[in-house]
Amino acid sequence: VNKKYMVYILALFTLLVISFIANIVVPIVIVRPLLVTQYFCPDDWIRFQDSCYYFSKQEENWNSSRYNCSTQHADLTMIDTMEEMNFLTQYKCTSDHWIGLTMTKNQTRQWVNGTIFNKWFDVKGNGKCAYLGDDGVATARCYTERKWICRKKRHL
């Protein structure tokens, strides 16, 4: 009777250990790193509010800059609020950076996501592609080489 009782206790203990590993240890080891990497921005990206921003170190034309953003599952940044404008202006330092605003064929300004620019800030110049400079947003010929700013939403 004692031996059967010990086998029964050992079996219950083994099941308890397996249950603990399956329900506690495995979710922590597998799920937690996924949550951490989704919450934070990738290396070399800067978090601001719900987005991640990449400020390039090299210079390219507007189309190449946009392509470089797309390889990182991002696009050239749009500027939706004054807070975002202030953040971008402060963080970019003194270099001009391409942003995701262009002039369409019918002479309206459009963001890279297809929405029409609502003119909440001034855009200087009559070029086709927009950049953020020391004096705000201006335009230039798209083949000019500048640094650029990518933006992507931070995944929660």
% residues pLDDT > 70 (the chain): 88
Contact between residue 71 and residue 153 where contact means Cβ atoms under 8 Å apart: no
Domain 46-153 classification at class level: alpha beta
User: What pTM did the predictor assign?
Assistant: 0.74
pLDDT tens-place string over residues 58-101: 999 999 999 999 999 999 999 999 999 999 999 898 899 999 99
Q: What is the mean pLDDT of the chain?
A: 89
When pLDDT is cut at 50, 70 and 90, the band that residue 151 belongs to is very high
124: which residues sit within 8 A by CB, 6+ positions away?
135, 136, 137, 138, 139
pLDDT of 49 strictly over 60: yes
